[in-house]
Amino acid sequence: MMEFEINAGLLQRVLEATAVVIDEPTLVVSDAGISVVSLDEAKVVLVQLGLRKSEFRVYDIGEKTQRISFDTGLLASYLKGAEGTAVLTVEGHKIDLMIPSKYGFKTFEVPLLAETGSTRVPKIDLESRCKLDLGGLQSVVRDGDKVKAANCIFTASDDNLDVRLDGEKGSANNMLEIGKGIIDSQFTTNSKFVISLEWLKDVLRVGAPFTNIVLFEFSEKLFPGKFTFQVPFDGNLMLYVAPIDLKAVYK
């Protein structure tokens, strides 16, 4: 049996972040805390999330590392609007959840599922990086929707970041400037990253509930882009997105 007690609101947001790319990831529960690496079926977007033991009021996992899988979106929906401490007991083939309510408390049962397996986090060297206000990326998404763009082309430009959006209704350029949308930057001249507008929306869905600051890293080579979010809890949250080949975009 395993038992956990944690802030219900934090747990809800964490579970929703893991469910952005896949509903039923495998969580690794160890002495250090809970971690999950989830990859979407198309193998484009990978989310790595860690929640350290210190965030739990009660953290009892028994004697060894364990792996569990369940519908994280379903459990998150039960936590919606809950305040106070959520109590989770994992035993047999289910999770028992107890949360406080206006009139007392509520309990829910969530079945455990077959493990989907963990995915290795890529080891890559990315030469260009910048710390961004997420509001800048939200502005890019809004402009992309206006011109009905399929892709966003990020290009390093001195200390700034140029974003080109070519769409069905025209094109747009969004320059994110140092001291405004960009807090800090270190770019190499030829660094470029192409991401679909829908994947960029997923980046925001993962990070925006926690923070407005993200470290964005990309490369001159055709490597995945990496988004590391500045989270307000003891843990980590990173998202990797496979690049789109610019030559395939403009044949």
For residue 119, the model assigns a pLDDT of 60
For residue 171, the model assigns a pLDDT of 95
Q: Which residues of the chain have pLDDT under 50?
A: none
Count of CB atoms situated within 10 Å of the CB of 232: 10
Count of CB atoms situated within 10 Å of the CB of 42: 9
pTM: 0.93
Q: List pLDDT tens digits, range 166-206.
A: 999 999 999 999 999 999 999 988 889 999 999 999 999 99
C-alpha dihedral (194, 197, 201, 204), degrees to nearest 10? 40
Listed by start position, the domains of the chain span 2-111, 128-249
DSSP codes joined into one string, 33-92: EEEEEEE-TTS-EEEEEEEEGGG-SEEE--SS-EEEE--HHHHHHHHTT--SEEEEEEET
For residue 62, the model assigns a pLDDT of 86
For residue 126, the model assigns a pLDDT of 92
Q: Tokens at residue 202, please? A: 């997923």
Q: Do domains 2-111 and 128-249 have the same CATH topology?
A: no
Q: What is the rounded distance in angstroms from the CA atom of residue 242 to the CA atom of residue 202?
A: 13
CATH code of the region 2-111: 3.70.10.10
For residue 49, the model assigns a pLDDT of 95
Q: Please state the CATH superfamily assignment of the domain spanning residues 128-249 in this structure.
A: DNA Polymerase III, subunit A, domain 2 (3.10.150.10)
